[in-house]
A and B are shown apart, each in its own frame.
Chain A
Amino acid sequence: MSDKPLEHEVDAAENSLNSLWQQQQTESVGIESIKRKWLNIKLKQRVYFVVDFVGVLFMVAVCYFAFDKMGLFAKTWMAILTFFAGATAVYFSYLRRFALNWSNEGTGSYIEQLKKQLKSNIRIAKLNRDMSLWMILAIAIFYVGMFYFDEVVLETAVRKGLISLAILAVFTPPFWLWANRRAKRFTRELMLLEQALDQDKI
């Protein structure tokens, strides 16, 4: 007699498996706690949005109030920096909409989208990290340029340059560390996701 189970035995085993699965005790989530979580997420996103644009507004204000006092080089340089800061803030706000995400597409294509998103997050975090160092160079070029084009005297360029660099010395290291930590976190998330997809224990 064969050891192979009969078809009806397999069906019965599968039915009992399905029944067992559906009998498991589960926790439930109250609608009120979901609403609270949603309000918290929305509030956090609004705070992030404001923080993103505060720096840009500051630069716009500087341009607006001091534009007449600036030379051509300073005007051009400030306009370029403000444009990049604005574009970055808009892009960050665009990316943040994914924080509220849900998807109803098939999981296969969702996973591909998630992987792309994580790769793009890694690129952005690295860009942020490197930008904090480029900012030091940009400030240095700004004051050297103004002196070079006779828009300020050497003493003023050195004094203002040093003040700006001192401010950057306070803010750059924590920003760099924060961006670096994000880059590492997204890299780890991507690796874990790929591991979970690749694992083949069957």
Chain B
Amino acid sequence: MSQDFNQILQQYSGLLGRVAASYEANHHLRQELLQEISLAVWQSLATFKGDSSLLTYILRVAHNKAVSHVAYHAKYPRNDSYCEITHASESQTLNSESHMQQQQQINTLLDEVRKLPIQTRQIVTLSMEGLSYQDIAEVCGIQLSNVGVILNRSKKVIMEAMAHVR
């Protein structure tokens, strides 16, 4: 693999980390998922032909790998005691109150996102990444008209949950 691929992976590592976080709450499994997603993206870059934007291409590959993870990890017992760390960043103590409040909001946001059905979760997270309705429809493989409907309903639910944290 060329050096370019490595640079692209580094450039999108935050994005890939957020995809992994939206599918897996367990810290260890999330890291494993992130590694699987990164490997899939790294492999897929060789066949990127520029038919779509690189961002939507990477997100398609990343979300598809994450969906496989949801099914595959049926083999593991979903026991909370498997890993006590659910939010990795909680261990990194943040000193100011505003930071702590922000962290709490992020954790609530992640919890709410993970409660969503897969397709809805994908639409919401892609929207929060700043993708247009057109791009979201392309990544999810759904009709453009459905994006707005699903997004409005689900964001309302999330924002209501977030309002309780503030």
Question: Would B141 and A108 count as touching, CB distance under 8 A?
Answer: yes
Residues of B within 8 A of A201 (CB): 115-117
Complex contact B39–A189 (CB within 8 A): no
**Would you list which residues of chain B between 39 and 55 have a CB under 8 Å from chain A?**
39-44, 47-48
Establish whether residues A26 and B139, one from each chain, have CB atoms under 8 Å apart when the complex forms.
no
Cβ contacts under 8 Å, B20 to chain A: 26-27
Q: Interface 1/0s, chain B 124-154, versus A by CB < 8 A?
A: 0101111000000011111000000000011
Chain A residues with Cβ below 8 Å from B92 are 25
Contact for B35 among A24, A33, A114, CB less than 8 A: A33
What per-residue 1/0 map shows which CB atoms of A136-159 lie under 8 Å from chain B?
000000000000000000000000
B35 smallest CB distance to A (angstroms): 5
**Contact present for A24 and B43 (CB under 8 Å):** no
A2 within 8 A of B: no
| A109 to B20 alpha-carbon distance, docked (Å) | 20
Q: Which residues of B contact A13 (CB under 8 A)?
A: 159
Tell me the smallest distance from the CB of A107 to a CB of chain B, in Å.
5
Q: Which of A66-74, A172-180, A192-200 interfaces with chain B?
A: A192-200
In the complex, what residues of A have CB within 8 A of residue B125's CB? 21
- Number of residues of chain B lying within 8 A (CB) of chain A: 69
The stretch among A48-56, A97-105, A160-168 that forms the contact with chain B is: A97-105
Minimum CB–CB distance for A74 against chain B, Å: 43
Cβ-closest chain A residue relative to B78: A192
Query: 8 Å CB contacts to A: which residues of B19-43?
Result: 20-21, 30-31, 34-35, 38-43
A27 touches B75 (CB 8 A): no
Q: Which residue of B lies closest to A24 (CB)?
A: B106
Does B44 lie within 8 Å of A102, measured CB to CB?
Answer: yes
Instruction: Tell me, in angstroms, the Cα distance from A26 to B88 when the chains sit together.
Output: 8
Q: How many residues of A contact B (CB 8 A)?
A: 48
Given the complex, which residues of B lie within 8 Å of A27, measured CB to CB? Answer: 17, 20, 30-31, 34, 88
Q: Does the CB pair B18–A104 fall under 8 Å?
A: no
**Set B13, B41, B128: member contacting A21, Cβ < 8 A:** B128
Residues facing A in B47-67 (CB within 8 A) are 47-48, 57, 60-61, 63-65, 67
Out of A22, A106, A185, A197, name the residue touching B141 (CB < 8 Å). Answer: A106
- Give every chain A residue within 8 A of B40 (Cβ-Cβ): 101-102
A residues within 8 A CB of B31? 27, 29
Q: Are A21 and B18 in contact (CB under 8 A)?
A: yes
Query: What is B's interface to A at a CB cutoff of 8 Å?
Result: 6, 9-10, 13-14, 16-18, 20-21, 30-31, 34-35, 38-44, 47-48, 57, 60-61, 63-65, 67-68, 70-75, 88-89, 92, 102, 105-106, 109-110, 115-120, 122, 125, 127-130, 138-142, 153-155, 157-159, 162
Q: Could you jot down 29 A-B contacts, CB within 8 Å?
A: A18-B127, A20-B102, A21-B125, A23-B102, A25-B89, A26-B18, A27-B34, A28-B13, A28-B17, A31-B42, A34-B9, A102-B40, A102-B41, A104-B44, A105-B60, A106-B141, A107-B122, A107-B140, A108-B140, A108-B141, A110-B67, A111-B67, A111-B118, A189-B72, A189-B74, A192-B71, A197-B118, A201-B115, A201-B117
